[in-house]
């Protein structure tokens, strides 16, 4: 499974993008602000452009299995999960069925549609990757 986040709007409080799964639109994304020159503010910085392996494992924080991104430079514990606002992420990727300039909407619905696809691919032993691109911002 290949996922791709195409960022197209970076504002003062968040970055909005589109998530593709195997080349098809899946949902919209929200993450923290992209910072110039690789500057990192803990819990308030978007994930660097690049491709990362994704696994599914138990999250102690959320108390259930969730997607986890591996080997993100300068980051640990990066998950894909539900949430609508930048205040609900500390570097993770939030998903929604719609978006505004500073939020995603219907996040639980988007996550509940996306997660079974990721989980099932993981159970089948497929390699799962996510690529972040900032060409549109």
Q: What is the pLDDT of residue 80?
A: 97
CA 110 – CA 17 distance, rounded (Å): 14
CA 33 – CA 36 distance, rounded (Å): 10
End-to-end alpha carbon distance in the chain: 25
| Contact present, 119 and 128 (Cβ < 8 Å) | no
The number of distinct structural domains making up the chain is: 1
3-class secondary structure per residue, 72-120? CCCCCCCEEECCCCHHHCCCCEEEECEECCCCEECHHHHHHHHHHHHHH
Q: What is the pLDDT of residue 74?
A: 84
Residues across the chain: 137
Q: pLDDT of 33-51, one tens digit each? A: 887 766 667 677 888 999 9
Q: What is the pLDDT of residue 136?
A: 66
CA 1 – CA 109 distance, rounded (Å): 20
Q: pLDDT of 68-122, one tens digit each? A: 999 998 889 999 999 999 999 988 999 999 999 999 999 999 999 999 999 999 9
> Model-level pTM?
0.92
| Tokens of residue 110, six digits | 């988007």
Domain that holds residue 111: 2-133
Q: What is the pLDDT of residue 37?
A: 65
Which residues on neighbouring strands pair with residue 2, listed in sequence order?
129
């Amino acid at each position: 499974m290949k996922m791709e986040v195409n960022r197209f709007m970076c504002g003062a409080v968040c970055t909005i993008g589109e998530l593709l799964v195997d080349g098809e639109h899946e949902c919209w994304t929200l993450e923290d602000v992209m910072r110039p020159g690789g500057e990192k503010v803990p819990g308030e910085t978007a994930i660097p452009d690049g491709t990362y392996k994704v696994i599914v494992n138990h999250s102690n924080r959320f108390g259930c299995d969730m997607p986890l991104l591996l080997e993100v430079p300068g980051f640990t514990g990066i998950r894909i999960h539900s949430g609508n606002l930048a205040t609900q992420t500390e570097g993770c990727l939030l998903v929604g069925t719609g978006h505004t300039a500073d939020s995603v909407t219907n996040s639980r619905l988007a996550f509940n549609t996306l997660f079974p696809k990721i989980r099932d691919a993981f159970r089948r032993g497929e390699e799962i990757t996510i690529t972040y691109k900032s060409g549109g911002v």
